[in-house]
Amino acid sequence: MSTLTLALVIHNHQPVGNFEHVFAEATDKAYAPMLAALVRHPNIRMSLHYSGPLLDWLDANRPDLLELLGDLVSREQVELLTGGYYEPILVSVPDADKLGQVRKMTDFLMERFGYGATGAWISERVWEPHLPKTLAEAGVQYTLLDDTPFKMAGLTDADLLGSYITEEQGFPLKIFGNVKHLRYAIPWHSVEKVIDWLKGQARACPGGVAVSGDDGEKFGMWPDTFNHCWGENGWVNHFFTALEDNVEWVRTRPLGEVAAEQAPLGRIYLPCSSYEEMMHWALPPDAFVSFGDLKRALQDAEETRGAHRFVTGTSWRSFVARYDEVNQMHKKMLWVSRKVHAMPEGEAKRRALDHIWSAQCNCGYWHGLFGGVYLFHIRAANFAGLITAENLADRSARGASPDTRVWATVKRADFDADGSDEILLNTDRQVLILKPSQGGALIEWDWRDRACNLLNTMTRRREGHHEMLRRAAERGRLILPGEQEIPGGVRVKEPDVHTRLFYDRHRRVALLDRFLGPRVTPEAFYQARYKELGSFVDQAYRAEIRTADDSIQVTLSRDGAVSVGEVCFPVRVEKTIRVSAGSPEFSTTYLVTNLEDIPVSVRFGIEFNWGIVGSDGPRGYLRVGSRPHSLSGFGYHDQVSTMTVGSTEPVLAGEVRLSLARPASLWRLPVETVSNSEAGYERTYQGTCTFLWWDILLEPELAWKTELTFRLIELEP
């Protein structure tokens, strides 16, 4: 019988900032059992990729597994793939960081295992045509991508049993197509069915190579896979035994051997792409639903069954466009990267580079059916790397003189690349980023000493997969924990989660200026079911900057209108933010002026959304006066003059204390999104909203005034 090569590639990854218990569980259930299986089956040869964060954890916690991996490498049973060390989306980071991250991984593999990797794993298989040049410059000779871009370019499954050559500016790269059928069949189909499929490929393409590359976590870590893969008569051992029993016609070989020995099948240029599911997830909600319906219709119709491969979603970069939070973190990464690369060579720059590279870990920059940017601890880890790297770069730029340790600067620049300037207030203690074009809002507040963005929260947005939840609820197809699967059902962790799909009209940041009607309740505010009476919250403000000695003052103002009954009154809102070098404080003075010649009564409020800790557990608290409250609780308070938001987390043992010149009414409520998870749909705490408001009578041409003072206070861990 004709022979076939099976190139198995397993990618093992845990993101920067993931919980310790997740690293441990994935190791015990997936990574360690796979290495043990390879020891038991020495004739099974494959390619393995481990991301840097996982390698670092294993080195510190399970060095025995790295020793075992080294033995498998030394006897040429396993080849190791390089890639971006901290698993960045390569197309999204500067070229210098692409090179740096790949070289860091390649150097680690050489130093730790004595292995010179020439193949690369590309994070999330996100591809753009410019990548071959940078990869080739980093010493990469071959990689693998999902079959999606090959099929977008007109190829079929029959064309994917070998590599193709591509290039950018004359820098060549071999690319293998990762066959979707195998990716879905392993380990879900029976071993017999997989072997039969491989036999068919051997007959159809003698000497060909079938590539299957996917996440290692599906071999034991994903729901219901541990017993399936590793229990008595487990799938993996059964599969490896079957491959050994059929060695006369199928051989498992590392991808690098194939790349070195087999000539490419031809030249190809692939479009921007990722795996099929990612390109679906990146679509806006309406398009997400329509695309899913269309894809199913094309697959079901006999006359269009082969054409559905040309119907694709959109590129990974759409996540940057859809989520302001992703865009802001991405642009801060670019901003800080430029600062770090401008540092003089030396230890400080090496440390700063490692922090900026860790902050490029991809998991916080996109969102699939679950997880991603909606995971607070992943966002927090990225911000910690960005802030730490910026601290090192700013200190380097100012020198080591005692006179430069306390400082304050201000810069007007298009920080988030949206065509409008932001204002960056930068001191030795804190960084505040103001956005005049959108309500003069405070969109980021970095506590330098704690490497924390205190406004790290998420806006509640409609997601395409929410429609799946709605449809299941309408049809009575919600599956609670412990219940059996039902056709068309979706799993939920609470029975009424579909009633919590509330969507914000504006981004959840800080210093949002609102005018509400007197009948708006905290419940209506929480559910985003109210009418905004003022034209301020997302409109453009004028900005004036003043500096004096070591202090900075930014005044943001807007002449807008407030609806009272059937009448619109002209009103000016002016807020002045002040920061000083060396100070842990900033203050904001508000002036609200009636520009009409008759008095008007209004309810004016200031919204502040806190993202300090990622859950409503005991380590986070909100104190009104002297009484503490849960961050996820609802509350209404009168005559509030002080408020504290704090954390006892070891990495963020501190609090922010707010003092008000005028006592205010306060609504406090959680910001919760509805997200999917392996266990089903659930509410996910993203932050806490505090809304301070006053019922005020605005006399003609007179300004109502108040002042808010925020102070950072460090606590013992």
Q: What amino acid positions are annotated as catalytic residues?
A: 124, 215
HSE (side-chain half, CA atoms, 13 Å) at 162 = 18
620's CB contacts (< 8 A; 6+ apart) are: 612, 613, 631, 646, 647, 648, 649
User: Angle CA(194)–CA(200)–CA(204) in degrees, nearest 5?
Assistant: 145
The C-alpha atoms of residue 666 and residue 525 are separated, in whole angstroms, by 12
HSE (side-chain half, CA atoms, 13 Å) at 642 = 10
The C-alpha atoms of residue 109 and residue 66 are separated, in whole angstroms, by 11
59's CB contacts (< 8 A; 6+ apart) are: 66, 112
Task: Say if CB 564 and CB 691 are below 8 A apart.
Answer: no
Phi then psi dihedrals of residue 219, to 5 deg:
-95, 60
The C-alpha atoms of residue 17 and residue 53 are separated, in whole angstroms, by 9
The C-alpha atoms of residue 305 and residue 196 are separated, in whole angstroms, by 23
- Count other Cβ atoms within 10 Å, centred on residue 427: 24
Phi then psi dihedrals of residue 692, to 5 deg:
-100, 130
Closest CA to 396 of 460, 345, 446, 463: 345
Closest CA to 41 of 64, 8, 1: 8
Task: Output the furthest CA–CA distance in the chain (Å, rounded).
Answer: 95
What ranges in 399-521 are assigned the alpha helix state H? 464-474
Strand partners, 623: 628, 644
The C-alpha atoms of residue 152 and residue 148 are separated, in whole angstroms, by 6
The C-alpha atoms of residue 255 and residue 270 are separated, in whole angstroms, by 20
Per-residue exposure over 382-413, b if at least 16 CB sit within 10 Å of its own CB, e if not: bbbbbbbbbbbbbbbeeeeeeeeeebbebeee
**Per-residue tokens: 576:** 């002045």
652's CB contacts (< 8 A; 6+ apart) are: 450, 452, 612, 613
Q: Specify the residue for token string 């954890």.
A: 57
